[in-house]
Amino acid sequence: MFKKIGAVALSTGLVLSAMSVPVFAEKPESPGKGNGNGNGGKKIDNIIYMIPDGFSGDYASNYRVYKGEDAVWDAHLKGMFTTNSANADVTDSAAAGTAMASGVKTNNGVIGLDPEGNDLTTILDASEEAGKSSGLVATSTITHATPASFATSVESRNNETEIARQYISSEVDVLLGGGKNMFLPEADGGNQEELNLIEQAQDAGFTYVETRDELQNNADIEVVEGERLLGLFADDALSPELHRDQSVEPSLAEMTEASIEVLEQDKDGFFLMVEGSQIDWAGHANDPAWAMSDVAAFEEAVETAIDFAKQDGKTLVIVAGDHDTGGMTTGSGAYSGLNADILNQVTATGDFMATQLNEDRSNTREIVEQYTHLTITEEEVQSIEDASDTALAINRVVSDHAGIGWTSTNHTGADIPVYAYGPQAEKFAGFYDNTALPQIMADVLRVSLDN
């Protein structure tokens, strides 16, 4: 692969999208020191953009109880932002990802295109144009909406095979996640009609890996020599953290570390997006243990990124969810305290527990207590046995014990916190729209994001 080398446009401020005009709070004149807020004017070579899909303020609050202490991002809270899409008050991940990648609102379901169908330049594109390397990491299929928003353009997020095809012809250097079937032809059990995109990827300079050991053994590829890395560790999405086979699937932190090792070779710097995809899926399922365990896995990845940023000194780490999922609350129903810490004992998702019930559900108590280590009441057993959605009923029982409430099984329009660590982190202070995030990144990287 030949990297694009382009002129780096010096930005004199935020180039705000005509589609959205965010309102910024006044920036602090004297940044703090020693906490990721200092060095306000220091040059930045690298950005690690970490997206916990579906994560909002109440996820943060419950995770603090679950963990028993502050999360790594708590000390680096900078601001909040709004999330509506171009055609709806409540966004989906495609529209949110597009806004967070390009600075332009689009319609729900659309990736990389504005509402009129025009291609959009993303912060990843702009970074590549400035000669930087780039990478995308996710625990979903790598062709899912959020990672796809940074490097592809499709009218429907469901066209994951086209997204896979566009990845191979793009200039992204590292792609790690699930979704092997999106790259394989139907003859090999995949979803492509005829194309074998894994073979095409290898022809285009990608080293292909599909296990944790293979990833760790190939993290020394020479990106500066045009080598690239494609890791597809599952046919579909990766496993929830509660069920991950550590001998086969790498953790999100391990994929983050491997990506940094590859990309940091580039003296011009890099842009890396890392998504904790399944926090969102847990929110849709109203599954508190799945949510908290995947937040914990995401935090390990953030710690990996911040550790690198501390050593490097020229790396900015941004943590920002794309929207809230499930309307999680901190406390629920008849107040009984905040008990999210009990979720550390849960060893399976509600979906998995539901598959373990026999036809008449007569083993409900046995299965739920085995995997949750809770003692449930006869009334709770009956609620699960009578439910049309068994997994959801199990999750509601567990949520009640944990003191966690839910208002939806879909996304909500809640405002989302943004955290930042590294040089010029203070520029993320304030209250604004999600379209401002890539504009700020372009500003601090001194690259052109022209939409």
CA pair distance 225, 60, nearest whole angstrom: 41
Give the closest residue to 253 by CA, choosing from 295, 299, 284, 288: 299
Q: 411 labelled as ligand-binding?
A: yes
- Beta strand 430-433 with 77-82: parallel, antiparallel or unpaired? parallel
User: Helix, strand or coil for residue 81?
Assistant: strand
Q: Is 146 annotated as a binding residue?
A: yes
CB-based contacts of 433: which residues, under 8 Å, 6+ apart? Answer: 20, 21, 22, 81, 82, 99
d(CA 286, CA 406): 7
53 in a known ligand binding site: yes
Q: What angle do CA 13, 102, 451 make, to 5 degrees?
A: 65
Strands (E) located in 37-109: 46-52, 77-82
What gap in Å lies between CA 121 and CA 450, rounded to an integer?
7
Integer Cα distance of 197 and 228 in angstroms:
14
Catalytic residue among 20, 56, 93, 277: 93
Q: Of 44, 156, 46, which is closest to residue 106 (Cα–Cα)?
A: 156
Q: How many helices (H) and strands (E) does the chain have?
A: 15, 14
Nearest to 416 by CA among 302, 280, 242, 307: 280
3-state SS assignment for residue 273 = strand
Is 89 among the annotated ligand-binding positions?
Answer: no
144 is in an annotated binding site: yes
Going by C-alpha positions, the residue among 112, 99, 123, 111 that lies closest to residue 47 is 123
- Beta-bridged to residue 192, according to DSSP, are 185
Q: How many CA atoms lie within 13 A of 394 on its CB side?
A: 30
* Residue 323 assigned to a binding site: yes
3-state secondary structure of 361: coil
104: buried, middle or exposed (CB in 10 Å: 19+, 13-18, 0-12)? buried
383 labelled catalytic = no
Contact predicate 281/409, CB 8 Å: no
Q: Are 85 and 107 in contact (CB under 8 A)?
A: yes
Q: Which helix (H) or strand (E) holds 364?
A: helix 364-372
Q: From the annotation, which residues make up the binding site?
A: 53, 144, 146, 275, 280, 284, 322-323, 411
Q: From the annotation, which residues make up the binding site for Mg(2+)?
A: 53, 144, 146, 275
Q: From the annotation, which residues make up the binding site for Zn(2+)?
A: 53, 280, 284, 322-323, 411
Active site positions, annotated = 93
